Amino acid sequence: MNEQFSRQDRAATETPTTHFGFQTVSESEKAGKVAGVFHSVASRYDIMNDLMSGGLHRIWKAFTITRAAIRPGMKVLDIAGGTGDLASAFAKRAGPQGEVWLTDINSSMLGVGRDRLLDKGQVLPVAVCDAEHLPFPDQYFDRVSVAFGLRNMTHKDAALAEMRRVLKPGGKLLVLEFSRIAKPLAPAYDWYSFNILPWLGQKVAGDAESYRYLAESIRMHPDQDTLAEMLRTAGLERVQYFNLTAGLVALHEGVRLD
């Protein structure tokens, strides 16, 4: 009996853990660590994206914008929107009758994005918010997007469920994220990720560790088929994905039908 209670007591006091790159950390600790990464890199985020991807991130985002098929008057939510690339493009297509929200859990990233939009003459609603607890009504948006942000979320299933919740029936979710590159290219990609990325991070952003985390977080993120199944489990239908640059990145789509 005492042994049974002892096991129950240990289970009750165990702290839930998750991954931060290749490290195992408590769930409460991960949020702070991810925040630290993006506070650190916010001011150099765009130039590092260009350097790391050779400018390919612009092509990946352009494809996402095309697939989003934003029409005038639509309501759009961009989650983990960072420096505002997608939100800016969506707002142009939604027009003055539309409503496009730029959101991010990281205030430093959101500040950079807001300022960039203002410099372009675009005034959009912005909000610091957690994708796992979105502060929006049910069935409010025609489109929800998240680009290179899902892999940093602790409870991806909860975040995907929230994204579905705020979509209108017929609305589409778009998830652009690093994925599994074709196997023949994997060795070269691994060498680049764990050698060149931290070096670039140190030289350009003064932060090698954040870019080492980037490489690790990509390896810990679900592959294409697993993520597609997660979208289905969240209640999305017509789920499909598009491999971009040999699977280095994938765009997943899902539609809320009811």
Residues making up the annotated binding site for S-adenosyl-L-methionine are 83, 104, 130-131
Q: Enumerate the known binding-site residues.
A: 83, 104, 130-131
Strands (E) in the chain, as ranges, are: 17-20, 23-26, 75-79, 99-104, 126-128, 141-147, 167-178, 237-244, 249-255
Region label for 225, one of left (φ > 0), alpha (ψ between -120 and 50) or beta (otherwise): alpha
Query: CA 219, 103, 36, 147: dihedral to nearest 10 degrees?
Result: 20
DSSP state at residue 204? I
Instruction: For residue 97, give Cα distances in angstroms to 72, 100, 234, 240, 258.
Output: 7, 10, 30, 30, 25
Taking the C-alpha atoms of residue 148 and residue 80, their distance in angstroms, rounded to an integer, is 8
